[in-house]
């Protein structure tokens, strides 16, 4: 939807019929927009106001990449690695 005040769309569940899909329309809080119809092309709509989306930001800090904690090596993982690292052949 290319409309002033609309920053994104998605699919979610309908408020009045939770088993059915609804078009989620994310608007920017405080920015005026045209009225959004309750149904668009036979699909219910849900409007969600929020602050402006910012890609890659978490609160005040900007997130540059995915962060995962270091993997903990277990004895099972070590055994699998050693078994696959040097295959033995039977004679």
pLDDT tens digit string along 11-57? 998 888 888 899 999 999 998 888 999 999 999 999 999 888 777 65
66: its two tokens? 């995915």
What are the E-state strand segments in 1-91? 6-13, 21-28, 39-40, 43-50, 57-58, 61-62
Q: CA 21 to CA 13: how far, in whole Å?
A: 5
More confident residue, 81 or 20: 20
**Cβ-based neighbours of 60, under 8 Å, separated by 6 or more:** none
Sign of the alpha-carbon torsion through 15, 17, 18, 23: negative
Q: Whole-prediction pTM value?
A: 0.56
């Amino acid at each position: 939807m290319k409309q002033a005040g609309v920053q994104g769309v998605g699919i979610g569940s309908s408020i009045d019929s939770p088993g059915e899909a609804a078009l989620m329309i994310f608007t920017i809080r405080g920015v005026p927009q045209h009225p959004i119809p309750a149904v668009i092309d036979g699909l219910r709509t849900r409007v969600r106001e929020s602050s402006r989306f910012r890609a890659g930001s978490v609160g005040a800090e900007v997130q540059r990449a995915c962060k995962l904690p270091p993997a903990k090596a277990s004895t099972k993982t070590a055994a699998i690695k050693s078994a696959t690292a040097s295959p033995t052949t039977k004679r």
